[in-house]
């Protein structure tokens, strides 16, 4: 498989975009948790799905807690958010006295919905995050179960989530087909200039 050809400038633009996209969901997260919530994208990486196990940016090879769903709109794909199970439970308990699993899915849906909204904004067409569900397995298994082709691009982001004096490490993975890469990079380039 040929390596991805994404320049340093394009990766910087992607990092800035993902940081802004994650911030779009902060208000929704604050409504759920009842406190100000800040999301900081600390690192990003792009790999082909076939190379994710060796080169991908991931939280753990072990069982993790995740929210997984579909990205609908001009750049369809899959999108997830993963945390260590203990951190996912603690974050969910900040948000509600109700069912922590439902709250965790709601938190993930809010953050990933913000990312989808930002993607739609940069591409000039409505985009949404649909079908959010709780997934508990390894990140690689979660991504492979999408049945995406091996050349699918995985954009991974390591994030820091601050809420009520708690800090959580989370990872998010956006899977898109290679044919959409040029469209995304072109839109980001136009936004910068």
Question: Per-residue confidence of the chain (193 residues) as pLDDT tens digits?
Answer: 555 778 888 889 888 988 888 888 888 898 888 888 999 999 999 999 999 988 888 888 888 999 999 999 999 999 999 999 999 999 999 867 789 999 999 999 999 999 999 999 999 999 999 999 999 999 999 999 988 999 999 999 999 999 988 999 999 999 999 889 888 888 888 765 4
Helices 85-95, 26-33: axis angle to 10 degrees equals: 70
- Gyration radius from the chain CA atoms: 16
CATH number of 8-192: 3.40.1550.10, 3.40.228.10, 3.40.120.10, 3.30.365.10? 3.40.1550.10
Q: How many CB atoms lie within 10 A of CB 180?
A: 15
DSSP letters of 29-48? HHHHHTS-EEEEEEEEEEEE
d(CA 118, CA 155): 15
Q: What pLDDT was estimated at residue 6?
A: 84
What are the two backbone dihedrals, phi and then psi, of residue 77, each rounded to the nearest 5 degrees?
Answer: 180, -160
d(CA 57, CA 10): 18
Q: What pLDDT was estimated at residue 114?
A: 92
Contact 163, 135 (CB under 8 A): no
CA angle 123, 124, 130 (to 5 degrees): 70
DSSP bridge partners of 166: 163
The tokens describing 153, both together, are 């691009």
What length is written for the chain? 193
Contact 24, 114 (CB under 8 A): yes
The tokens describing 111, both together, are 């953050």
The secondary structure element, H or E, covering residue 69 is: strand 64-72
């Amino acid at each position: 498989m040929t390596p991805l050809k994404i320049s340093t400038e394009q990766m910087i633009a992607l990092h800035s975009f993902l940081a802004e996209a994650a911030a779009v969901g902060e208000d929704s997260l604050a409504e759920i948790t009842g406190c100000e919530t800040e999301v900081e994208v600390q690192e990003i990486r792009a790999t082909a799905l076939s190379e994710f196990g060796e080169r991908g940016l991931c939280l753990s090879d072990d069982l993790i807690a995740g929210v997984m769903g579909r990205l609908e709109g001009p750049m369809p794909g899959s999108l997830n958010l993963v945390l260590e199970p203990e951190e996912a439970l603690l974050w969910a308990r900040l948000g509600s006295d109700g069912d922590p699993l439902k709250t965790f899915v709601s938190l993930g849906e809010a953050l990933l919905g913000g990312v989808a909204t930002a993607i739609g904004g940069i591409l000039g067409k409505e985009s949404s995050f649909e079908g959010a569900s709780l997934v508990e397995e390894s990140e690689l298994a979660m991504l492979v179960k999408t049945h995406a082709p091996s050349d699918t691009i995985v954009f991974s982001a390591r994030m820091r989530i601050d809420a009520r004096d708690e800090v959580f490490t989370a990872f998010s993975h956006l899977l898109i087909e290679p044919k959409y890469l040029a469209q995304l990079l072109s839109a980001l380039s136009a936004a910068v200039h």
